A and B are shown apart, each in its own frame.
Chain A
């Protein structure tokens, strides 16, 4: 599948932003975060900025962005519509929760938990857009939903750790909790991706050139002549292929730069004093962002669509 820049940026940024909101909601409700206005401003500011930038960028790949509002209508059947509805709905409790926190120094546990539920549900809806497509076996499997949640947790957790390290006193025990929340998210994300890659390397779509044409009873089916000499929309959108040797290198980059590296950096940050710890966590956040974008690019580039079976692919 063609990796569209706007969709890669959207899913990465909104995933992190939504999980930052969810963590602010959960930890706030549990009383682990002080209703400090600066902390609130930084946390909600970053979360809303990432989510909003992602949502705006998601309209860039549309043929008619001015009609985007119509996408809220079909939530009964469409995961894309559900994602839109949930994303916008998240702003309501999250916005109220943030206003109470920043301007009135109050943390509302109810609003915090409601924010967390809606934010996580939005990320799940994003994952289900891909996981529900039977045409792409590398997406429609049980690894995709947990991976989207884990990657959101990893990014949102790293961002919260950075803000907490900047604002909370180094002696605060809660700080250690935020650091370890990030480390756990990053480690689980690395594990989830490794399992996903192992799965997709060892499996293929049930659809074959034989079932796509129904000519399997005659023998093995191969393309003799393409319908057209130049690439059409189908091949440009669905026929994207990444070289296997490049994919392997990019997987290692995504894993090291995005997840295991940042997990180690944040672990080191728990052992050193304030200023250095902040620098280490900041590095982890930058690495995680680069690694997540690489992972998301690969998620598209490595996906194979059944339509390619009609254009000479032996498997999808």
Chain B
């Protein structure tokens, strides 16, 4: 069914901290690695070692420059499915292959129903969906449903592959429908925002803005430079005094 469910009791999603992301692409690589064998497998590659490699990825890391001069910033910007509250990718689907789960709000594709018309990818403003030409169906981020509910995993590992891989803690996973959840509190505290809010898709995933840059370093009490070595400083006892005397002769 491509009509949307009522507001799901949970709205699982990601919070991405643009202040912290170092642009290492580890999240994208681990996403590719996990999902090549996961729910939406395979994520087909074409000409992978040739001149024009192409393939399906669920997570892409862009790098932007914002502003100019001293006020300018370079911001690494990971982008994957935002699991929108108003996902037009779901409602345009003619077959019912695209759907938003009533239980947790995750947007998925039922590959057995997908006819590969690509209209859902046209309806997504964020470029979250990528067509797999080898399989003839549309693919997208599953929020790692095969990890987050996987009871064979230790509880701390039941997070999406991208979150598990991030070496700097720039990615947070949780229930954004619950105002008291850690991710919701983080969004509240840091002023998390929606991408392209003017289009009205109401993405569940939120982005945390880079913190304001500091013009000056804080004072730690240390000197601003190392002091010059003092020629008069001489060892006053022991072996070193004997060497000093020998060399000073």
Contact = CB atoms under 8 A, between A and B. Distances in A.
B91 interface: yes
A128 B93 CA distance: 14
Interface in A68-90: 68, 70-74, 76-81, 84
B61 interface: yes
B221 to A, nearest CB: 32
A222 B119 contact: no
Interface in B116-140: 116-119, 121-127, 130-133, 135-138
B68 interface: yes
A76 B60 CA distance: 33
A64 B209 contact: no
B122 A220 contact: no
Contact of A80 (B66, B119, B195): B119
Interface string B1-40: 1111000000000000010000100001000000000000
Contacts of B1: 74
Nearest to B118: A237
Interface stretch (B51-59, B141-149, B178-186, B229-237): B51-59
A218 B72 contact: yes
B73 interface: yes
Contacts of A63: 114-118, 131-133, 135-138
Interface in B170-220: 193-200, 207, 209-210
**Which of B127, B138, B194, B197 is most buried by chain A, counting CB atoms within 10 A of its CB?**
B127
Contacts of B95: 67, 70-71, 73-74, 81
A211 interface: yes
Contact of A212 (B4, B90, B132, B195): B195
Nearest to A85: B94
B62 interface: yes
B75 A76 contact: no
Interface residues of A, number: 59
A218 B73 contact: yes
B113 interface: yes
A48 interface: no
Contact of A233 (B53, B56, B97, B119): B56
A207 B65 contact: no
A64 B137 CA distance: 7
Given A215-B75, A218-B66, A223-B64, A307 B54 contact: no
Given A64-B137, A238-B127, A221 B66 contact: yes
A226 B63 CA distance: 7
Contacts of A307: 124-127
A73 B94 contact: yes
A76 B3 contact: yes
A225 B64 CA distance: 7
B101 interface: no
A244 to B, nearest CB: 23
Interface stretch (A18-26, A113-121, A130-138): A130-138
A306 B199 contact: yes
Contacts, number: 205
Interface string B81-108: 0000000101111111100000000000
Given A219-B66, A225-B63, A233-B54, A62 B115 contact: yes
Contacts of B93: 74, 77-78
A227 B2 contact: no
A232 B225 CA distance: 51
Contacts of A77: 2-4, 90-93
A204 to B, nearest CB: 12
A77 B121 CA distance: 16
A214 B60 CA distance: 17
A250 B114 CA distance: 35
A73 B56 CA distance: 28
Contacts of B57: 228, 232
Contacts of B193: 214
Nearest to B63: A225
Nearest to A134: B199
Contact of A78 (B61, B91, B118, B196): B91
A135 B96 CA distance: 21
Contacts of A221: 64-66
B248 interface: no
Interface in A191-246: 206-207, 209, 211-228, 230-234, 237-238
Contacts of B2: 74, 76-78
A140 B234 CA distance: 83
Interface string A256-284: 00000000000000000000000000000
Contacts of A306: 125-126, 196, 199
Given A62-B136, A219-B66, A237-B131, 17 more contacts: A64-B137, A77-B93, A78-B2, A78-B92, A80-B119, A133-B122, A211-B196, A211-B197, A212-B195, A218-B72, A219-B68, A222-B66, A228-B57, A233-B130, A305-B122, A306-B125, A311-B62
21 contacts: A61-B118, A70-B97, A76-B2, A77-B93, A135-B124, A211-B195, A214-B193, A215-B18, A217-B209, A218-B66, A218-B71, A219-B67, A220-B67, A222-B65, A227-B28, A237-B122, A238-B121, A238-B122, A307-B124, A307-B125, A310-B79
